[in-house]
Structure 1
Amino acid sequence: MKNVFVDGYNVINSWPELKIIKDYSLDGARQKLIEMLQNYASYNGLKIFLVFDAHLLPKSLEKKEKFGEYLVVVFTKEGETADSFIEKRVNNIGRKADVCVVTSDLLEQQVVFQRGATRMSSLEFYHEVKGVEKKINNKIEKDNSCKRNTIEDRIENDILEKLQKIRKNH
């Protein structure tokens, strides 16, 4: 399974709809990103590590939370940036596993590339995630349009019975 490390705040500050949400609720922007990445990861069968800086929060400890099988959200500990967390993990697995790092930080992109990972900018990733959202929505629409949509499906049973009696009497 491919591992994808995402610099959470870098993405939030790069994606148009998340920037708008962030202006009134940083937590709301984080939650929206988590939702989007859950769908993307499960659709593609990827393991995503969404990493948020907590390095400026005094006495913060590293915190990991799993969202299903495919998404792990990480808040770094005090004094550790998302970049340094990602670099350490990529250093450990970058040459043994298929790893991609999502960040628009050019220095970070160079470092992780040297450690065996591929890299993708936050905006490239945005377009990829939006493309998957479109595929999912098209599939849902197609599945829904294949179902028969009859009047019997939309009216209450007692009215349906009365209509059937009327039909039989004529």
Structure 2
Amino acid sequence: MKTHYTIVDGYNVIGQSAELKRIAEESLEEARKTLLLTLVNYNARQQTELICVFDAYMTGSNEAREYFHGINVIYSKKDETADAVIERLVYELYDKHITRIMVITSDLSEQHTIFGAGALRLSSREFLLELEEDKELLERDLEEMKHDKPRMRIAIDDETKNRLEQLRRGHK
């Protein structure tokens, strides 16, 4: 059983991000996919059980679940909000002695409910800032790896390098 969970209110985060909101104006599906890809990268560094919940309140369907590159994605069922799904998940997953649950939402009523159930809360805006910092750290790490990459696969001392160079040139 996992002990660290991050539950993201997907549309709440999209609504708080200027970039995702712009994408959603053209294609809500594209905005969801962009958010999920960002969450995949975030989760690779955080190593929690990440669940992203989307509101399917008006679709007239049953709750749908999918697994997207290590993230559990849940679409709420007809007549159920994403908030209701998040609350249910917090109650199902929480064990005060071993579980840490972080819920990403800016919904005020949701915040009060999840606090009462023992979960922690991070606002969508704070989370977006954290994602941006995480992206910058990753880019910096990749840049450092590129510059620090050794030309040889194994480390050898100068004397051995010189001897190998002499052998390469045909000198004994």
Please give the TM-score of this superposition, normalised by the length of structure 1: 0.82
Match of 1:106 among 105, 108, 115: 108
Provide the residue aligned with 1:127 in structure 2.
Answer: 129
Provide the residue aligned with 1:115 in structure 2.
Answer: 117
Cα drift, residue 3 of structure 1: 0.3
2:68 aligned with 1:67, yes or no? yes
Please list every run of 5 or more consecutive structure 1 residues that lacks an aligned counterpart in the other structure.
150-170
How many residues align? The count is: 147
Provide the residue aligned with 1:92 in structure 2.
Answer: 92
Distance in 2, matches of 1:125 and 1:2, equals: 17
Distance in 2, matches of 1:26 and 1:107, equals: 25
Q: Which amino acid aligns with 1:57?
A: T
Distance in 2, matches of 1:86 and 1:133, equals: 26
Q: Deviations over 1:50-87 (max 9, x none)?
A: 000112112x1211111233x11111111111000000
Q: Which amino acid aligns with 1:142?
A: E
Q: Which amino acid aligns with 1:91?
A: Y
Question: RMSD of the TM alignment (CA)?
Answer: 1.4
Cα drift, residue 93 of structure 1: 2.1
Q: Any conservation in 2 of the 1:102–1:121 contact (CA below 8 Å)?
A: yes
In the TM superposition, structure 1's runs of 4+ consecutive aligned residues that sit over 3 Å from their partners are none
Cα drift, residue 4 of structure 1: 0.8
Please give the TM-score of this superposition, normalised by the length of structure 2: 0.81
Q: Which amino acid aligns with 1:78?
A: K
Cα drift, residue 148 of structure 1: 6.2
